[in-house]
Amino acid sequence: MTQSLDPRTTGRHAHPHDHARDRQLRTVDGTVDPGHARAHADIWLHEVTAGYGDREALGSVTLAIEPGSLLAIVGPNGAGKSTLLKLIAGLVRPWHGRIEVLGSPPGREAHRIAYVPQAELVDWGFPVTVGDVVMMGRFPRLGPIRRPGREDRRAVDEALEKVGMAGFGGTQIGRLSGGQRRRVFLARALCAEPDVFLLDEPVTGIDPTSQEDLMDLLEAEARRGKTVVATTHDLATAAQRFHLVLAINHTVVAYGPASLILDPDVLARAYGGHLLVLGGGAVVLDDAHHHDDAAPGEVHFHERGDH
CB 77 to ligand ADP: min, Å: 5
Interacting residues with Mg ion (CB under 5 A) = 81-82
Q: Which residue number, 81 or 181, has a Cβ lying nearer to Mg ion?
A: 81
Residue 83's binding partner among ligand ADP, Mg ion, none (Cβ under 5 to 8 angstroms by kind) is ligand ADP
CB 134 to Mg ion: min, Å: 23
Interacting residues with ligand ADP (CB under 6 A) = 52, 57, 75, 77-83
Residue 80's binding partner among ligand ADP, Mg ion, none (Cβ under 5 to 8 angstroms by kind) is ligand ADP
302 class by beta-carbon count within 10 Å (0-12 exposed, 13-18 middle, 19+ buried): exposed
Residue 26's binding partner among ligand ADP, Mg ion, none (Cβ under 5 to 8 angstroms by kind) is none
65 class by beta-carbon count within 10 Å (0-12 exposed, 13-18 middle, 19+ buried): buried
Residue 180's binding partner among Mg ion, ligand ADP, none (Cβ under 5 to 8 angstroms by kind) is none
CB 29 to ligand ADP: min, Å: 22
Residue 232's binding partner among ligand ADP, Mg ion, none (Cβ under 5 to 8 angstroms by kind) is none
CB 76 to ligand ADP: min, Å: 7
Residue 241's binding partner among ligand ADP, Mg ion, none (Cβ under 5 to 8 angstroms by kind) is none
Q: Which residue number, 82 or 227, has a Cβ lying nearer to Mg ion?
A: 82
CB 237 to ligand ADP: min, Å: 16
Residue 62's binding partner among Mg ion, ligand ADP, none (Cβ under 5 to 8 angstroms by kind) is none
Q: Which residue number, 81 or 138, has a Cβ lying nearer to ligand ADP?
A: 81
Whether 67 and 225 have beta carbons less than 8 Å apart is answered as yes
Which ranges of 67-129 would DSSP assign to H, the alpha helix? 81-89
CB 118 to Mg ion: min, Å: 5
DSSP character at residue 59: E
- What is the H or E stretch that residue 214 is in? helix 208-223
Q: Which residue number, 83 or 227, has a Cβ lying nearer to ligand ADP?
A: 83
Q: Which residue number, 38 or 86, has a Cβ lying nearer to ligand ADP?
A: 86
Q: Which residue number, 65 or 163, has a Cβ lying nearer to ligand ADP?
A: 65
Q: Which residue number, 16 or 52, has a Cβ lying nearer to ligand ADP?
A: 52
CB 104 to ligand ADP: min, Å: 23
